[in-house]
Amino acid sequence: MTDSTSVALLSTFLHIIAWSFILRVFTNLLSNVYIYFVRAPKNLQKLGSWAVITGATDGIGKAYAFALTKKGISVVLVSRSEQRLQTTAEELCAKNPSSTIKTVAVDLAAIADSATGAQNNGWASLQQAVSDLDVGLLINNVGLSYDHPEFFDQLPEGDALQMIQLNVMAATKITRLVLPSMKARRRGAIVFIGSAAATVLPASPLLAVYGATKAYLDQLARSLSLENMSAGISIQNQAPLRAIRLAVRSLLVHSPSHVRSKNGIPTNAT
Ligand SMILES: NC(=O)c1ccc[n+]([C@@H]2O[C@H](COP(=O)([O-])OP(=O)(O)OC[C@H]3O[C@@H](n4cnc5c(N)ncnc54)[C@H](OP(=O)(O)O)[C@@H]3O)[C@@H](O)[C@H]2O)c1
């Protein structure tokens, strides 16, 4: 093969790669424009008349409660404080007076005794509250992160276990609570609120347990999605990005020693 033939072949090869890349970017762009701006939103009421939202009295969970009641979906609000649940229910009714709302006060970090597996009263109330409802949507939102970035071996054991109980155990148990009836009705959707700390960032140093619990949710959602696709149930993990901001802030400012010294904790404390 002559030199000029080799150069021509190489040039054709590079052109093919470049055009494949451009085509891929373009089709991705078109598909995202279609999904976010053109495609009609799903009619969530067709999934069922009720949604269960954990961690529903603040932040993302409360925003879901407002969005869903606006669409005419009845909601079961789940969080610890009875008072905050009542206030949230009143706020929702003030905004959408026809809303139907149930509240369940339960500490989801303590629904099962890790040693005996015995379940607390709050869990029984939640089971009872959803037992007769046509639950079409579960928003597994509740979650706990670090109050400051910390090395894994310096994180108090109780904090680590509480994160696992709330982020992993609670989501697993509630999903197992509602999934069978969704399967029986052959409709429903389950949303996990994960975190970019697990799905966008390659690692979550100083937030290791949090990142690991959110990685669990991501993999659980992917696997359950495939398991239940043929049963007509959509399952997905959403990964909010604000975690990136926290991570960046932690790299720039909030080192563990910085936070400890700021809070008057000896820097070698465990
Ligand atoms: N905000 C972010 O930037 C961000 C970024 C990435 C991922 N996320 C994820 O998004 C989810 C929501 O975060 P958020 O910041 O919106 O939450 P948030 O504003 O802190 O609200 C937490 C909610 O959960 C309830 N809650 C807390 N501990 C509970 C427990 N042990 N049992 C039952 N309910 C409990 C709280 O009510 P009570 O105190 O009354 O119980 C409240 O309704 C979490 O899973 C989080 O990891 C958030």
Residue to mutate (ligand 1; options 60, 140, 191, 214; most atoms within 8 A of CB): 60
Check whether 99 has a pLDDT greater than 90: yes
Q: What average pLDDT does the structure give for the chain?
A: 89
Reported confidence tier of residue 244, pLDDT bands at 50, 70, 90: very low
What residues are in contact with ligand 1 under a 6 Å CB criterion?
A: 55-61, 79-81, 84, 107-109, 141-143, 145, 166, 193, 195, 240, 242-243
Tell me which H or E stretch contains 196.
helix 196-199
pTM of the entire structure? 0.84
**Closest Cα to atom 3, ligand 1: which residue?**
242
Compute, in angstroms, the gap from residue 103 CA to the centroid of ligand 1.
16
Question: Which of left, alpha, beta for 48 (phi over 0: left; psi -120 to 50: alpha)?
Answer: left
> What's the confidence (pLDDT) of residue 5?
86
**Residue 220: what residue type?**
L
Check whether 106 has a pLDDT greater than 90: yes
Tell me which H or E stretch contains 139.
strand 135-140
Compute, in angstroms, the gap from residue 219 CA to the centroid of ligand 1.
20
Compute, in angstroms, the gap from residue 22 CA to the centroid of ligand 1.
40
**Closest Cα to atom 41, ligand 1: which residue?**
80
CA distance 32 to 69: 27
What integer is the mean pLDDT of 158-162?
96
> What's the confidence (pLDDT) of residue 254?
54
**Closest Cα to atom 25, ligand 1: which residue?**
55
> What's the confidence (pLDDT) of residue 137?
98
Sheet with 50-54, side-by-side order of all strands: 101-105, 74-79, 50-54, 135-140, 188-193, 233-238
Reported confidence tier of residue 136, pLDDT bands at 50, 70, 90: very high
Give the dihedral of Cα atoms 37, 39, 44, 45; nearest 10 deg.
120
Question: Which atom belonging to ligand 1 lies closest to the Cα atom of 81?
Answer: 40
Active site residue 216: no
What integer is the mean pLDDT of 45-70?
97
Residue percentage of the chain with pLDDT more than 70: 86
